[in-house]
Amino acid sequence: MSAPGPAPVALATWPTPAEPAPRLAEAVGLAPADLVLKRDDLSGLGGGGNKVRKLEHLVARAVADGATTLVTTGAPQSNHARLTAAAAARLGLEAVLVLPGAPGPVRGNLLLDELLGARIAWAGDVDAAGLDAAAAAAADDVRARGGVPVVLPFGGSDAVGARGYVTAGEELREQVPDLAHVVVALGSGGTMAGLVAALGADRVLGVDTGATPDGRARVARLVDELVGDGHVLPGDGGAPPAASLRIRDDQVGDGYATVTPGARSALGLAARTAGVVLDPIYTARALAGLVAAVADGDVRPGQRTVFLHSGGLPGLFAHDLDAVR
């Protein structure tokens, strides 16, 4: 078992609400009392979202290491990058966000990145390895200027960041003790891994968003590391094999950055039956995955189901709104 590390930095007020959603439940084919929304979009810092839980642990480690600057990577509309900038602003640190591509319209998360005082380093047309190399170069530049950089992982998803979702799973066990399913968007893997470590693989349904080509392997590796760190699974305490993870890959569509027909439908469904706004890349895909899971019997009426709203609203305003209506 590895050392637990420093105590998390307080960046939000927990627990987030667990709200009933009877009209949305009926709209997706469940009974009115079946569906609960776990509102991690209401985590507060920098517009809220699931990355705040991860950053409480990641930033604590960075501060313990003497960081003056947080460096991280992500897509141009990265929620993790936005919230890294917000955490840095809260704590008086600098933030460098290393993003693929070149400067373009400043809207959605990019607008908030600038408002929060982050420096954006555009990496050009690079793959994942190239983006990591650009982050390393940005860290070298910080050192050359006399600073102390700490590079945070893509999506905040390593075993340290995933501890935040072990805590979220523990919250859910108290808020919804009879839960049968937790439905969550699968991006960089840390959110799902923490929930699996807290609740077990049989109760967590991940809906792949296409953010990485190896989502299943990422989740399995992170769960294994969490178990090694002492975050013991219910039951025998062993990490589940990758094949046992419940992951749907039927909502990726034409790729991560696209708004799929299912996501468009889910956006309207949540807004018009629960007054809740999703984002088109993560949470809308996750809700579309829940609709599909009910249709094929993987999630059934009478089973208490939690939908994890992981935030991401600013990204909605970076899309052509005609594409999401």
The per-residue pLDDT for 325 is: 64
**Confidence (pTM):** 0.94
Within-domain flag for 322:
no
Q: Mean of the per-residue pLDDT values for the chain?
A: 94
Chain segment 248-267, per-residue pLDDT in tens: 999 999 999 899 999 999 99
DSSP state of 42: G
The tokens describing 91, both together, are 């704590």
Q: What is the CATH number of the domain that holds 100?
A: 3.40.50.1100
Q: Looking at the structure, tell me whether residues 262 and 176 fall in a common domain.
A: yes
pLDDT of amino acid 319: 79
Q: Return the pLDDT at 320.
A: 73
Residues 24 and 77 placed together within one structural domain of the fold = no
Residue 235 has pLDDT above 70, yes or no: no
CB 89 within 8 A of CB 300: no
What percent of the chain lies above the pLDDT cut of 70?
Answer: 96
Whether pLDDT at 59 is above 60: yes
Q: Is residue 60 part of a domain?
A: yes
Do both 267 and 160 map to the same domain?
yes
Contact partners, residue 154, CB within 8 Å, separation at least 6: 72, 73, 74, 80, 128, 131, 188
Taking 70 as the threshold, does the pLDDT of residue 321 lie above it? no
Say if residue 174 is in the same domain as residue 102.
no
And the tokens for 24? 């949305």
Q: Cα Rg for the chain, rounded, in angstroms?
A: 19
User: Is the bond preceding residue 15 a cis peptide, omega within 30 degrees?
Assistant: yes
pLDDT confidence band for 122 (50 / 70 / 90) = very high
The pLDDT score that the predictor gives to residue 241 is 78
Active site members: 78
- Is-contact 277 270, C-beta < 8 A? yes
Tokens of 269: 């469904």
> Are 142 and 200 members of one domain?
no
Q: How far apart are CA 224 and CA 242, in angstroms?
A: 10
- Shared-domain flag, residues 169 and 37: yes
Predicted confidence at residue 246, as pLDDT, reads 97
Q: List the domain range (segments joined by +) for residue 304.
A: 16-47+155-315
Sheet of strand 246-248, all strands in order from the earlier edge strand to the far edge: 18-20, 35-39, 304-309, 179-186, 204-208, 246-248
